[in-house]
Structure 1
Amino acid sequence: MSDGPCPVLWRRTKRAKRLSLRLDPARRQVVVTYPHTVSLKRAEAFLDAHRDWVKDRLADLPPAFLLQPGASLPFSGRSVTLIHAPDQRQPARLEDTCLTIGGDRERFEQRALCFLRKRAGLDLPGELLALADYMDCKPSAIACGNARTRWGSCTRSGRIMLNWRLILMPEPVKRYVMIHELAHMTHFDHSRAFWAHVDRFHPDRLAAQAWLKAHGSTLLALN
């Protein structure tokens, strides 16, 4: 299936008991896992036998998020249009609902991503601290990272990591992720008490979770 609709990652491991495949929605690639006792040729045949399943799962994915001139993206609760200005000296400039990227077209996406990640690092910690004060807790440290499988994390010591892509989420969804991680400072588990604590500060968490399930893979594809 090398000429198929998406790339394939072959994972041969001693821990695998059988052939299996899954679709990585963030990287938009098929992951085939197979035991050491199985040949690559047999694994390829296994994938070919499930070609229709792969195509169906790809069709279910939301459209890829493209950072290109003319595109619109959600940013801190508003819609922002990306504009290319080759002669602009600044790598990126945000004004109202326009994010203007300067320089060569070849580096447009890279500069847009750089701006978004930098703004996330500046904006998200302050928003988290405001919620922490509201929830009567105090993180020991806050960082913004580039995780590809989670939106945030909280350690037992109270160090919270936020995915920089939160800055591209609707405000209620971003708020839910932050409340979720802060709630772990009170309940370091996913018990009923934990979810009750989350619901106390975010009554619409089910809607936020549904949004993440429907659109999260699109944001995670941004790298």
Structure 2
Amino acid sequence: MTLRRMSEASDIHMLAFPTRKVPLVFKQNNRARRIILRLDYGTSRIVVVLPKRTSRDEGKRFALSNKDWIEERLDQLHEPVPFIHGATIPFLGNPHRIRHRPNARGVVWCEQEEIHVAGHEEHVPRRVQDWLKIEAKREIEARAQAKAEAIGRKIKKITIRDTKSRWGSCTSEGELAFSWRLIFAPKHVMDYVIAHEVAHLKEMNHGPRFWKLCGEICRSVEPARLWLENNGTDLYRYGRF
């Protein structure tokens, strides 16, 4: 199932709190029926979705009237964990320490719960992120293809993105998209998200037959859903400064 598309046009204001200022971003979505507030966990910005014929001034007044809600959400954010030497990040749910190896050959490799990065120190963050995206693509594609084959469906295309509002999506044309940040989650959580989208290849809904099919190709639907509910936003902290 596809995400709703928003126009690219946006306008940024600052929303002031006693101890901090938070970027307030306005985005137009002509399909929206009301003003919607959303916390962008990747950038710690508040996104104000504006329906058709709704002004930014109306959106700002709405945000101001919900400052308590916004501050509560901001307080739930964990400290960012940049991809630098010595940082510990989860890889498939298991903690791994980033280790800069300036004199080593190669680029990035993983062994003994460490992610080793060769080259200059200033290249470490980008190389770690590039490597994580490659690993995410490899893990996700293999699992998705196997599950699609199990239900007699074919995947037209798989895309790995840095999505903000969903961990995965499926179009009616059979194109799947997943967040590369699933590489931080435990394997059973990644497996559930993949099963969820693959099941949409056959059942483009969330009815009883969809959940039955999802359970047939994933053994831990409920535990994984609960984990995402409790820990999903934490996955956005990695790689941020």
Q: TM-score range by the shorter chain?
A: 0.7 to 0.9
The superposition leaves residues 33-75 of structure 1 with CA deviations (integer Å, 9 ceiling, x where unpaired) of 56877675x8666655544432222112344343232222222
For 2:145, the equivalent position in structure 1 comes to 129
Q: The residue matched to 1:118 in structure 2 has which SS?
A: helix
User: Structure 2: which amino acid aligns with 1:11?
Assistant: F
1:83 Cα shift?
0.9
CA–CA distance in structure 2, aligned partners of residues 191 and 130 of structure 1 = 23
Inter-partner Cα distance in structure 2 for 1:160 and 1:33? 25
Q: Which of 198, 202, 212 is equivalent to 1:182?
A: 198
Amino acid at match of 2:43: R
What secondary structure is seen at the aligned counterpart in 1 of 2:229?
helix
Determine the C-alpha separation between the residues in 1 that align with 2:38 and 2:209.
Answer: 33
- 1:91 CA displacement: 2.9
Local SS of the residue matching 1:188: coil
State the 1:203 CA deviation. Answer: 4.5
Task: Indicate the residue corresponding to 2:82 in structure 1.
Answer: 66
> Equivalent residue of 1:206, what SS?
helix
SS in 1 for 2:130: helix
TM-score normalized with structure 1 length: 0.80
* Structure 1 residue ranges (4+ consecutive) displaced by more than 4 angstroms after TM superposition: 1-4, 12-20, 33-40, 42-50
Distance in 2 (alpha carbons) for counterparts of 1:180 and 1:90 = 36
Give the distance between the partners of 1:19 and 1:76, measured in 2 at CA: 36
Q: 2: CA distance between counterparts of 1:18 and 1:188?
A: 26
Paired residues of 1:84 and 1:105 also in contact (CA < 8 A): yes
- Stretches of structure 2 that go unaligned for 5 or more consecutive residues are 1-13
| Residue of structure 1 aligned with 2:171, choices 155, 172, 176 | 155
Residue 109 (1) aligns with residue 125 (2): yes
Aligned-partner Cα distance in 1 for 2:37–2:143 = 39
Report the RMSD for the aligned CA atoms in angstroms: 3.1
Secondary structure class of the residue paired with 1:7: strand
Matched-pair contact (CA < 8 Å) for 1:141–1:159: yes
CA distance in 2, matches of 1:27, 1:195: 33
Whole-Å separation in 2 of the counterparts to 1:179 and 1:113:
25
Q: Does 1:199 align with 2:215?
A: yes
Percent identical residues: 28
Q: Distance in 1 between matches of 2:163 and 2:42?
A: 11
Which residue of 2 is the match for residue 83 of structure 1? 99
Cα pair distance change 1:81/1:37, threshold 3 Å: closer
Distance of 2:149 and 2:81 partners within structure 1: 34
Instruction: Give the conservation status (yes or no) of the 8 Å contact 2:102–2:121.
Output: yes
| Conserved 8 A contact 2:167-2:178 | yes
TM-score normalised by L of structure 2? 0.75
Runs of 5+ in structure 1 lacking a partner?
A: none
Structure 2 vs 1, CA of residues 177 and 105 (structure 1 numbering), >3 Å: closer, same or farther?
A: same
Q: CA deviation at 1:182?
A: 1.2
Q: Is structure 2 residue 26 aligned with structure 1 residue 7?
A: no
